[in-house]
Amino acid sequence: MPRPSILNSVERKFILFVGDLIIILASLNVLVNNAIDAKYILMGIKVIVFSFGITSYLVLAYILEFYNLEKVSNRKKVFSQSLYISGLYVLAVFLFLVIVYDVSFWRMPLLYFLVLTPIEIGLWRLFFRNIFSVIPVTKNVLYIYDGHAMGTVKDDIGLINGDEMKTFYKVKLTYPLDDANYFTKPSFISAADKIDAYIINLRSYDDLPKDLEKMLLRAILLGREVVTFTSFYENTYEALPIRSRNDSFYEILQLRNRKIRYLGRIFTFSVNFILSIVVGFICVFCIPIVWFLNLFFNKGPLFYTQKRVGLHGKEFKIYKFRSMVVDAEKSGAAMAKANDARITPFGKILRLFRIDELPQIISIINGDMQFIGPRPERKVFVDQLNEMIPYYGVRHLIKPGITGWAQVKYKYGENLEDSIRKLEYDLYYIKNKSITLDFRILFKTVTTVLFSRGV
């Protein structure tokens, strides 16, 4: 018989979050009702402190990936990470009260809030980690495929098992649909009883063998997970598989069938407008500084311009602070990569803190770009990728952006293979575009800049 129902990653994150939230609310209660001098406490202040406390915790937790189950399952890091992030949270709340309300505190209750809150969260997460080291968390998978997916079976199994990240799935059994006798083998029938999830990668779902239909229906009735490979990939990696996937083209067709979302358009306009003002001021402030330092460490033009492919495949000019040597592409077009010899020492600093990207605000003001969207590529690379992937141009359904889902989820693209992987994230964004997803991208971008991730 199959094992008892295993909690999926969303359910485990929810349990972890509920435990954290109980501790956060209890600590805020101690702060408001015991630590702050009674003469400063009004109902309005209580509501504001609770609201700020919960909001600041959620923001820090998201930016610093507090609910990344891979990190939570790491015995060496789970406690130290908990102390670090919850320590930032209590410090933020404390500084907020001091700066905004200038309140006075009772020392011991304040000490409980500042010291015990991080320790309690750390102990809770250590307990959570140990519980799930005993309770089974990885689902045994039966991978069902046909002849069309035969050439990618090894890669597919690697993606299901999680070569790059923990997926909490493990392929224990494969079923090649073209082998009519495979299903009746005693060893297969015995092993199938221990399966928790069924992942199916077929060209057509219309002509399934009757025995397989009955097995899948029984699995569904027993509460087992039965999904297509594309659905598994999208839910796990938050990207759309685009090569050798039998139902991928169907997913691509959905990109044009979204309802008009006026609220989303208003949000996009607001983000572009507000950030254009903020980034514009920062860019103007940086221009004389970068120009002056260029005289000594990066001799040559201040800016460089390049044509990129934008909305509906039309080319436009992009502007950046120059970070490479002059005539960096005299030998032909080439993508930037880690430790690229063409990047000057000062250019590395510009790239490290994304300062070189600031002049792209000009393209946003011109209406060629927006803040959130697929990264614009050069036509020479777009043409090559169109040859490799017939529907690469689908990413040009929306305006390109300075930041985007592919930029915050995947490393800096160094070659065409990386561009193909990033396309999976771009298509996922286009299909699932929403205000919530845009907020996630903005928060992740903050993390990328603060921690200097990428090239």
C-beta contacts of 153-158 below 8 A and 24+ residues apart: 156/201, 156/229
In terms of phi and psi (left: phi > 0; alpha: psi -120 to 50; beta: otherwise), the region of 332 is: left
Mean of pLDDT over the chain: 83
Q: In this model, does residue 1 exceed pLDDT 50? A: no
CB neighbour list of residue 298: distance below 8 Å, 6 or more residues apart: 322, 323, 344, 345, 346, 347
- Confidence at residue 360, expressed as pLDDT on a 0 to 100 scale: 93
Q: Residue 198: enclosing H or E segment and its boundaries? A: strand 197-201
CA 412 to chain centre: 14
Q: What is the pLDDT of residues 406-436, one digit of tens each?
A: 988 887 766 777 888 888 899 889 888 888 8
Residue 323 CB coordination number (10 Å): 24
- Residues 376-402 have a mean pLDDT of 87
Across 262-366, where does the E strand assignment appear? 303-309, 315-321
- The Cα-based distances of 388 to 59, 91, 97, 186, 242 in angstroms read 40, 51, 57, 43, 11
In whole angstroms, give the CA distance from residue 65 to residue 408.
12
Q: Tokens in use for 136? A: 């089974």
Q: What percent of the chain has pLDDT over 90?
A: 27
Q: Contact, 387 vs 393, CB < 8 A?
A: no
Q: What is the pLDDT of residues 338-381, one digit of tens each?
A: 667 788 888 888 888 888 999 999 999 999 999 999 999 999 88
In whole angstroms, give the CA distance from residue 290 to residue 302.
8
Higher-scoring residue by pLDDT: 155, 452: 155
Residue 36 CB coordination number (10 Å): 22
- Confidence at residue 259, expressed as pLDDT on a 0 to 100 scale: 53
Q: Tokens in use for 226? A: 């039965």
Q: Contact, 363 vs 369, CB < 8 A?
A: yes
Q: Contact, 142 vs 200, CB < 8 A?
A: no
- Residues 380-404 have a mean pLDDT of 87
In whole angstroms, give the CA distance from residue 446 to residue 361.
17
Q: Tokens in use for 271? A: 């983000």
In whole angstroms, give the CA distance from residue 48 to residue 238.
35
- Confidence at residue 146, expressed as pLDDT on a 0 to 100 scale: 84
Residue 9: name the closest of 247, 190, 169 by CA.
169
pTM: predicted TM-score of the whole model, two decimal places: 0.78
In whole angstroms, give the CA distance from residue 422 to residue 426.
6
Q: What is the Cα Rg of the chain in Å?
A: 26
Q: What is the pLDDT of residues 163-212, one digit of tens each?
A: 777 888 999 888 888 766 666 666 666 667 778 899 988 877 777 778 77
